[in-house]
Chain A
Amino acid sequence: MDYRFLPKKGLSLFVDGLLKDFKVYGPVKMDGFPVYEEVSSAKELLLMHSPSHITPKKYLFPQRETLLRFKTGEKPQVEHAADADNQVLFGIHPCDIHAIRLLDRVFAYGTPDVNYLRRREKTIIIGTECLPDKFCFCRSVNTMTAANDFDLFIHDIGAGFLVKIGTEKGKELLFRHVKTRKATIKEISKLVEFHKKKESMFTASINAEPSTLPLIYSGSYDSPVWEEIGKICYGCGSCNLVCPTCYCFDVRDDISLNMKDGERYRVWDGCLLEDFAKVAGGHNFRKTRGERLRHRFNRKFQFQVDKFGGLFCVGCGRCSRACLVNINIVEITNKLIEERETGKKE
């Protein structure tokens, strides 16, 4: 892989250059929290931080997205809506790079999702390193670093930035806007050193190999854990909302007051919400919060693994961070591991 060195002052030149052709979104601080927002200069970027509260998936799979525009009447007219701008997602952490790789698979398999894929095609991903907080556990699910699935990856090494080239497209953009030089071995080794340091910073970890987790989850369907956490869960769906690999949605219509035109759109939905599996007759296939939690946890560690390969949890810890009653995905998983090891279900 190709590594370049970008001098410190080159970053703002680079971002300014990108802004000519793209909308640029990056991590910034808002009300004290890290979030992804549109930026207008490199100064705003928060390039070394813990995960954002809401994931950058919102730029690929927006919370509300128009699918069709229609006109009603005797002969209704309908057209496909696919509004997508050229965009750069600047400062994407390794966990979110892995999450985007998973979403790419989900939306491309079977019947391709044109809206997502078109937006994805117009998106440049520039990764960056991060600092784990007490909820982060990417080290435990093999997503602490990203080897590919980005166009560029930028890491602050003090005197400047080490830039890893991921794609030709990324390289072309870098070369077009700023002067860089080939990075030295010493500079490249700073990223390795950082990974070592980062590895030692985690306080949360899963007590089993990631490859064993699908089996642990498949054997824990009847664990008392689900009912226990079901009792305290509010069923608010915050975990769904902040998860970088949750992609369930509802499809709805909006119609203008004159009833002449409108749009069909999709909006994020969450399997923790009470109505998620309820059919028109009123029957609810996952009535209790315990059942819904079990479904969500299993989607991350077992169900989607069967479908797409690879864990669907990238260890960002956002669900635990957002949970109002402190349901913690690492603690729950460790409890299931313990139950399996001791054969004991308390």
Chain B
Amino acid sequence: MESPYLLRQARIERITRLTEKERLFRLVFEDDKTLGHVPGQFIMLSIFGAGEAPISVSSPPDTRNEFEICVRVVGSLTNVLHTLLKGSTVGIRGPYGKGFPVKEIENKDILLIAGGIGLVPMRSLIKTILLKRGAYGRITLLYGVKSPEDILFKDELDEWSKVPDFDLRITVDKPHPLWKGHTGVVTRYLPELKIDAERTAAVIVGPPVMYKYVIMGLGEKRIAGHEIFLSLERRMKCGIGKCGHCQINSVYICQEGPVFRLSDIRRLREAI
């Protein structure tokens, strides 16, 4: 029997500074095996001496032995990660959890709502969808950030906005004088969206505070609870359903989530 805490080592191949607080890391495994993830899954990232933390994968599934994570400096491990240079080695275990239902939402219009670093796991989904663009209907991405400086993946957002039938709306909470785009919270722009509720699947990823309001907004658009998917963030220490930190009632987020169907958790107290 092998210890579930053993790691695969990966080398940091590229570091891209996205904002003051977020960097994108391209990681390549020392062995030649792929990560084998689906969009929405997460890994446990570890740096010896600094510890481990759950981090969502930001790149689409890849046949090569590499993948990307985008990390905000927010805790002790992420602080250390941001000091590492290209060529450094980190430890990876996973992927863990259940991801987005990529197959199930084929042939549907896709409404994506991301808040802040919620765009990080969402990017893995968007890129996966775009690789098979013809299999999906209209795509709408509603992306809310605090200020224009916090916008992640600016170049890619630009590219996506040029994809046929891809409606991109970025809104900022605290605009500066040069900002010409949308302002305010993402829910403000839900009413004006033209949505065919019968053929739409919605995906939400954002900070805890966002979910309640977005869910209310989607309800007004008459999107059914079983067509809404969301990714829940919780503290995690093991990733394998033992340590208890991510538990909501009898549900372990690391096992049954982090992606859930709204209708499965609407009545799960403490979930949203």
Are A and B subunits of one complex?
yes
Residues of A within 8 A of B (CB): 67-68, 70, 72, 74-76, 78, 80, 82, 106-107, 109-115, 117-118, 221, 247-253, 255, 259, 262, 264, 266, 269, 271, 276-281, 283, 285-286, 291, 295, 298-299, 302-307
CA distance A78 to B90 in the complex (A): 12
6 more CB-based (< 8 A) A-B contacts, given A115-B3, A277-B245: A76-B91, A112-B4, A113-B240, A114-B1, A253-B50, A276-B245
Choose among A80, A110, A269, A305 the residue that contacts B243 (Cβ–Cβ < 8 A): A269
Q: Are A82 and B3 in contact (CB under 8 A)?
A: yes
Q: Which residue in chain B gives the minimum CB-CB distance to A111?
A: B240
Decide if B16 is an interface residue (CB 8 Å cutoff).
no
- Nearest-neighbour CB distance to chain B for A284, whole angstroms, equals 9
Please name all residues of chain A whose beta carbon is closer than 8 Å to the beta carbon of B162 when the two chains form the complex. Answer: none
Choose among A110, A277, A283, A295 the residue that contacts B240 (Cβ–Cβ < 8 A): A110
Main secondary structure of the interface of B (DSSP, over half): loop
Q: Which residue in chain A gives the minimum CB-CB distance to B4?
A: A111
Decide if B217 is an interface residue (CB 8 Å cutoff).
no
Please indicate which of the listed interface residues B51, B75, B242 has the most CB atoms of chain A within 10 Å of its own CB. B242
Please name all residues of chain B whose beta carbon is closer than 8 Å to the beta carbon of A106 when the two chains form the complex. Answer: 242
Q: Are A249 and B1 in contact (CB under 8 A)?
A: no
Choose among A80, A247, A253, A255 the residue that contacts B2 (Cβ–Cβ < 8 A): A80
CA distance A277 to B269 in the complex (A): 15
- Nearest-neighbour CB distance to chain A for B222, whole angstroms, equals 29
Main secondary structure of the interface of A (DSSP, over half): mixed
CA distance A303 to B52 in the complex (A): 27
Given A80-B3, A114-B1, A280-B74, verify A72-B242 contact (CB < 8 Å): no
Choose among B46, B53, B238, B269 the residue that contacts A221 (Cβ–Cβ < 8 A): B269
Given A78-B7, A114-B3, A283-B208, verify A255-B48 contact (CB < 8 Å): yes
Q: Which residue in chain B gives the minimum CB-CB distance to A255?
A: B49
Q: Are A280 and B53 in contact (CB under 8 A)?
A: yes
Q: Which residue in chain B gives the minimum CB-CB distance to A286?
A: B270
CA distance A248 to B46 in the complex (A): 20
- Nearest-neighbour CB distance to chain A for B96, whole angstroms, equals 9
Please name all residues of chain B whose beta carbon is closer than 8 Å to the beta carbon of A118 when the two chains form the complex. Answer: 1
Instruction: Give residues 162-200 of B contacting A (CB, 8 Å).
Output: none
CA distance A281 to B244 in the complex (A): 19
Given A111-B241, A117-B1, A302-B250, verify A253-B234 contact (CB < 8 Å): no
Q: Are A72 and B244 in contact (CB under 8 A)?
A: no
Decide if B235 is an interface residue (CB 8 Å cutoff).
yes
19 A-B pairs whose Cβ atoms sit less than 8 Å apart in the complex: A78-B7, A107-B242, A111-B4, A114-B4, A117-B1, A249-B243, A249-B244, A251-B243, A252-B51, A253-B48, A259-B49, A269-B237, A277-B235, A280-B74, A280-B75, A280-B78, A285-B208, A303-B247, A307-B250
